[in-house]
Structure 1
Amino acid sequence: MCGIVGAVAQRNITPILIEGLLRLEYRGYDSAGVAVLAEGNGIQRVRAVGKVIELQNALQATPATGHLGIAHTRWATHGKPAEHNAHPHMSGKLAIVHNGIIENHSPLRKKLIELGYQFTSETDTEVVAHLIAHYYSESHDLLDAFRTALGELHGAYALALMHEDQPETLYCARMGSPLVIGQGSDEHYIGSDPLALLQVTDRFRYLEEGDHARLTINTCEIWDRDNLSVDRPLTRYEHAAHSLEKGEYRHYMLKEIFEQPQAIRDTLAGIVGDDHVLTAILGPDAETRLVDIANIHIVACGTSYHAGLVARYWIEDQAGIPCTVEVASEYRYRTVVVPDNTLLITISQSGETADTLAALRFAKDQGYLATLAICNVAGSSLVREADWRLLTHAGPEIGVASTKAFTTQLVALLWLTTALAQVRGKPADQIAANVKALKDLPAIIEQALTLEPRITTLAERFANKHHALFLGRGTHYPIAMEGALKLKEISYIHAEAYAAGELKHGPLALVDEDMPVVSVAPSDALLEKLKSNLEEVRARGGQLITFACETIDQTNDSNHEIINLPFVEGCISPILYTIPLQLLSYHVALVKGTDVDKPRNLAKSVTVE
């Protein structure tokens, strides 16, 4: 959620830094600051609580100009929102900004205090500043000191560093949090997001995990985690693919479906370690308060409600915490019994969904332990009013039918499930497996997206259909619900979803040769029972379409088409199986000739009851 901008140039870079911070305002923050190395005056630092406009006002009162500088917007994790906790942080002649979380900041702080360093903030970032300063005082080599300090840091970080002794040099590093290097004409820049720098360049080098770099006006040196010199390619920013335009895609919905791998990477950036999750992203007291949670209530609407239903399976199975999920429009109008130590989770893409926001406000007086908002919009009402926030970083979603917002919500909820299991002392290998599965997920989704040509052909079978059934079991039952919702929303085909075991209790009466039946069949403990349910459909002449794990031994026939998906670990399987259902609904809508991005009677953000 924090933002970094840095620059080294032959001109005054303060306007570049401020404009970069303004372009990062979408990320959400509580304070901002800038440090500029002014010729003859040393480092000038200006910080302010609140929005960037407050920093601009402070700069008018105390101007700071120079050719080298760093700037930052902060979302408090360690230490309350306050000027003394705002970045940049300094140690003598050194200034630093930081995104992420340093997990071992406490022992490092103790060590540095014993060495005589004094702290003026509660942040983990000031620890890094003093640590580098300490090693520099011993080696008198800033690059060596930077590397030595990086070797002691545990957690996730993107760092930018400058020192008065090197007035034309900017240092940076990344591990678990994104950072890019922008190249101009006799200028170099850094940013936590390329969007922050598009006013000055569209040429970027993307740092990889463990990289660190040294930049001057006309040189860029990059080393990997083993201190070996590497060349990261200079690439031109693809404006169309990342802006609010459709670019090469026919509709926003299709563009947003294909943006999901990157949206998931962005959501995970800075919140997972090598084999665990970084709970401090929720706040400095998060770990203690997470341990206290004895019950969970999830409240949401539409697609976000389906995400909550998947999370219920995860939370109860992996964390052992009772969890209920409710539609916000029902929750807010009934008498709610809140057990002791209950966490309320609200989920919304926009953060302005009227029923969900009203539910959060209603819950304020119901005795909840805490409230958590999972949302895609940092400055939204839901995010501002909840005790904790977990942003999904899906980027702008223009299509009314939610796609990347849904999958990133699931990623955030699986992260939260893993955090709850972690603080409860669940097996370390379970935690590590979840983290690995989350990190592997973007590449697996990219594989699933290659199924589009086959799904395009499959969609033709819906040309004259008016009804469809979707079936799933376990965590994939809510995914079937989401698939049915997508088909309804944009193709106007009446679609219903059922837990497959419920077929014989009524829905089987609808099955005939004119009723497509879509099922999701991962390789899990419920597979054999699902196969029996599908045989009930085949016996009555139903036309089956099954998205199945590639390890399942099934073959296509005249009334059963099988589309294989890669085998994945069970926890991320529901996210993977969402992808073909999104593609199916999109291509059926094309066949039907409907307005894909703006389906009739629907709005993107439902801000009224």
Structure 2
Amino acid sequence: MCGIYSIYSEDNINIKSFFESLKELEYRGYDSAGVALVVGPKLKVFKTTRKIKSLEPKLKKDIKTSLILGHTRWATHGTPSILNCHPHYHNGVYLVHNGIVENYDELRKSRYIGNAKLLTETDSELIACIISYFYKTTHSLSKSVNKVGKILKGSNSFLCIDENNLGTLVAYKNKTPLFFGLKDDGSYAFSSDLNAMKENLNKYLSLENNQIIEIKNNICTLFDNSYEPIDKLLVPYKSEVSKSLKNKISKDSITYNEIKSQSKLIPEFFDSFPGVFKQIKNIKKPKNVVIIGCGSSFNSAMLGKLYFEKVSNIPTEIFRPSEFTFFKDNKKTLYIFLSQSGETADICDLLESNKEYFSNSLSIVNSFDSRLVNGTKNYVNLNLGIEKGVAATKTFIGQIVALYLISSYFNGQTSFNTNTFKKAFRSFFSVEKDIKKIAKLFFRYKSFYILGRNYTYPIALEGALKIKEISYIHCEALLSSEMKHGPIALLDKNFPILYFISTDKTTILKEISNLYEIKTRTNNIVLFASSSILNKLGKKFLDEINYIKIPDAQSELVPIFFTLSIQFLSFYFAKLKKIPVDQPRNLAKVVTVA
């Protein structure tokens, strides 16, 4: 959840460039930030409980350093404070850490800690303390780290240095991602994601579990779990980012940019279907499909279930990884793992717990080099560019497009005419001005229902999540058919309802009846429906509510328009409430601890 970035160089490091890279990791956590840098014979440390940019003035512009550790924190152990901010220190060892020590309580009482006094509430300081314990006998930082790695439980990556030997930097990785890179100028870099280290990156390596890298006097050595030196197989860095990402739309917010960028990215991804089919060509049509995801990915999994069952006639189940059940008979079952980062701990832990069971697997990710991709037999890369806003926007729509394409592939469809959809989708972005007007009417409400059915119910769930995440408004998603079975008791004349009507001909009349039932109890309704549905309702009814017109598109693609509407609405709710849309409280973008 935290972000680590470090540079080790023979020459002086460009501090401005370093901070630009560290800021690229701020989406991973923004409770606090800190740096440690070698200045002459000493190590200097700077910390803040504000954003990374507040650290920059603390460092003199002409400061000279050849080694710097940086960290941005999402708090797991200990409140956000200067005391709990990284880098941490114990008995000569400085450390920046990303992860969680699951056996913290056990180790806290162990002989490795003994009577040592820990000053913070964090599990990170405990790692530094145990390293210093072994260092007394090994006199080697890398050997000490190897011993520590064998007793830590959980997902952990960290970098450490010894204040008495500032020419040595040691890195360790287990489950939590850590990348090592070689820059064009010969300097070394470590980062929690590849994007942050991309500037002038020549080659890189994604460390495997329990590997250690030691840089000593500018000589780099990679060790395996047995502390045996092994070859470093660095691969050339090549960005896969879409050309559409090169043009920024607005400086208003990252999330807003990412919503707007979909006008180009999603049609581009649709047109890339031959590449998607190529990535899954070796997968035989399964007898069953199981889709596994968390958060927004679970909501897209729910829509995927409908696609596989209705488009390709394949029975499909969906699970959150924490609730997955291992079936005895899983022959001819395809397991699809959804994660925008490819690093979601709950999902990766499940996959790695029984790789043989999940041998017929496919991951759908937005990161081509990730823990999930490395663990599955096949993968589809959305290639939508890194998503830095905490709320999933372009990756959510990307996932549902991918699931639709894959379900169509299993139904024998090998070509698509997307021209009608692309035209309607690009034109639909003009809905923003109408959404903004509605947001001004409703942003002060404390609670909402959002109702859907068929293809729109998973979008209702996603919409409720978006409103909670970035607007801090309680919102509950329900099947419109279930309102009469209890939830309607909460309605009074002022209770706000967001109502999605699907285009399913078998349920349209029932969905309209449910709308009328709700209208008798509240006029605070925002209806999202296609032109054909709106025409059925009549002008008198529509004049008494608020509504957004959804294009009359192919039923499987209609959810995309509902999703875009609710993304805009969530954004404007947050903006009107003056909430930090890109970095809402208590959240981080990448969940690398279970």
Q: In structure 1, which of residues 302, 311, 319 is the aligned counterpart of residue 312 of structure 2?
A: 319
Partner of 1:402: 392
Residues 433-491 of structure 1, C-alpha deviation per residue, up to 9 Å, x if partnerless?
xx224x54343222221011111110012232110001111111001110111001011
Partner of 1:361: 352
Residues 373 and 388 of structure 1 are in contact (CA less than 8 Å); yes or no, is this contact kept in structure 2?
yes
Letter of the 1:551 partner, please give it: S
Letter of the 1:311 partner, please give it: G
Matched, 1:603 2:588: yes
Matched, 1:456 2:436: yes
Partner of 1:547: 528
Letter of the 2:417 partner, please give it: K
Residues 461 and 338 of structure 1: CA distance in aligned 2, closer, same or farther (over 3 Å): farther
Matched, 1:350 2:341: yes
Alpha-carbon distance in structure 1 between the residues aligned to 2:276 and 2:448 = 42
Matched, 1:253 2:243: no
What secondary structure sits across from 2:514 in the alignment?
Answer: helix
Q: Any residues of structure 2 matched to 1:548-587 within 5 Å, and which?
A: 548-552=529-533, 553=535, 554=537, 555=539, 557=542, 559-587=544-572
Alpha-carbon distance in structure 1 between the residues aligned to 2:404 and 2:424 = 16
Partner of 1:267: 269
Alpha-carbon distance in structure 2 between the residues aligned to 1:358 and 1:251 = 33
Q: In structure 1, which of residues 281, 291, 307 is the aligned counterpart of residue 279 of structure 2?
A: 281
What is the CA-CA distance between 1:607 and the residue it aligns to? Answer: 0.7
Alpha-carbon distance in structure 2 between the residues aligned to 1:259 and 1:248 = 10
Residues 250 and 502 of structure 1: CA distance in aligned 2, closer, same or farther (over 3 Å): same
Letter of the 1:330 partner, please give it: E
Partner of 1:495: 475
Residues 453 and 270 of structure 1: CA distance in aligned 2, closer, same or farther (over 3 Å): closer
Letter of the 2:319 partner, please give it: E
Residues 442 and 607 of structure 1: CA distance in aligned 2, closer, same or farther (over 3 Å): farther
Alpha-carbon distance in structure 2 between the residues aligned to 1:355 and 1:417 = 25
Partner of 1:6: none
Alpha-carbon distance in structure 2 between the residues aligned to 1:295 and 1:456 = 43
What is the CA-CA distance between 1:278 and the residue it aligns to? Answer: 6.5
What secondary structure sits across from 2:311 in the alignment?
Answer: helix
Residues 16-75 of structure 1, C-alpha deviation per residue, up to 9 Å, x if partnerless?
xxxxxxxxxxxxxxxxxxxxxxxxxxxxxxxxxxx998xxx9xxxxxxxxxxxxxxx9xx
Alpha-carbon distance in structure 2 between the residues aligned to 1:319 and 1:193 = 34
Residues 511 and 542 of structure 1 are in contact (CA less than 8 Å); yes or no, is this contact kept in structure 2?
no
Residues 491 and 594 of structure 1 are in contact (CA less than 8 Å); yes or no, is this contact kept in structure 2?
yes
Residues 393 and 408 of structure 1 are in contact (CA less than 8 Å); yes or no, is this contact kept in structure 2?
no
Alpha-carbon distance in structure 2 between the residues aligned to 1:312 and 1:195 = 29
Question: TM (normalized to structure 2)?
Answer: 0.57
Q: Any residues of structure 2 matched to 1:464-475 within 5 Å, and which?
A: 464-475=444-455
What secondary structure sits across from 1:474 in the alignment?
Answer: coil
Alpha-carbon distance in structure 2 between the residues aligned to 1:265 and 1:541 = 38
Residues 298-340 of structure 1, C-alpha deviation per residue, up to 9 Å, x if partnerless?
0000001111100101101111111001112222xx4444432
Residues 247-291 of structure 1, C-alpha deviation per residue, up to 9 Å, x if partnerless?
52311111101111322234235433xxxx8633325xx1xx423
Equivalent pairs counted in the alignment come to 360
Alpha-carbon distance in structure 1 between the residues aligned to 2:240 and 2:581 = 30
Letter of the 2:512 partner, please give it: K
Residues 241 and 385 of structure 2 are in contact (CA less than 8 Å); yes or no, is this contact kept in structure 1?
no
Q: Any residues of structure 2 matched to 1:114-153 within 5 Å, and which?
A: none
What secondary structure sits across from 2:290 in the alignment?
Answer: strand
Alpha-carbon distance in structure 1 between the residues aligned to 2:447 and 2:368 = 39
Letter of the 2:508 partner, please give it: L
What is the CA-CA distance between 1:574 and the residue it aligns to? Answer: 1.1
Q: Where does the alignment leave 5 or more consecutive residues of structure 2 unmatched?
A: 1-179, 187-202, 204-237
Residues 253 and 521 of structure 1: CA distance in aligned 2, closer, same or farther (over 3 Å): same
What is the CA-CA distance between 1:343 and the residue it aligns to? Answer: 0.6
Matched, 1:305 2:298: yes
Partner of 1:482: 462
Partner of 1:425: none
Q: Any residues of structure 2 matched to 1:528-539 within 5 Å, and which?
A: 528-539=509-520
Matched, 1:290 2:273: no
Residues 445 and 579 of structure 1 are in contact (CA less than 8 Å); yes or no, is this contact kept in structure 2?
no
Residues 359 and 377 of structure 2 are in contact (CA less than 8 Å); yes or no, is this contact kept in structure 1?
no
Alpha-carbon distance in structure 2 between the residues aligned to 1:410 and 1:384 = 22
Residues 362 and 379 of structure 2 are in contact (CA less than 8 Å); yes or no, is this contact kept in structure 1?
yes
Q: In structure 1, which of residues 364, 370, 375 is the aligned counterpart of residue 365 of structure 2?
A: 375
Alpha-carbon distance in structure 2 between the residues aligned to 1:469 and 1:436 = 36
Letter of the 1:282 partner, please give it: I
What secondary structure sits across from 1:255 in the alignment?
Answer: helix
Residues 349 and 405 of structure 1 are in contact (CA less than 8 Å); yes or no, is this contact kept in structure 2?
yes
Residues 439 and 569 of structure 2 are in contact (CA less than 8 Å); yes or no, is this contact kept in structure 1?
yes
Alpha-carbon distance in structure 2 between the residues aligned to 1:408 and 1:503 = 30
What secondary structure sits across from 1:551 in the alignment?
Answer: helix
What is the CA-CA distance between 1:536 and the residue it aligns to? Answer: 1.3
Alpha-carbon distance in structure 2 between the residues aligned to 1:453 and 1:247 = 16
Alpha-carbon distance in structure 1 between the residues aligned to 2:528 and 2:544 = 14
What secondary structure sits across from 2:348 in the alignment?
Answer: helix
What is the CA-CA distance between 1:414 and the residue it aligns to? Answer: 0.7
Q: Any residues of structure 2 matched to 1:412-431 within 5 Å, and which?
A: 412-422=402-412
Matched, 1:388 2:373: no
Residues 591 and 403 of structure 1: CA distance in aligned 2, closer, same or farther (over 3 Å): same
Partner of 2:579: 594
Q: Any residues of structure 2 matched to 1:425-444 within 5 Å, and which?
A: 435-437=416-418, 440-444=420-424
After superposition, the CA RMSD in angstroms is 2.9
What is the CA-CA distance between 1:294 and the residue it aligns to? Answer: 0.6
What secondary structure sits across from 1:495 in the alignment?
Answer: strand
Percent sequence identity is 31
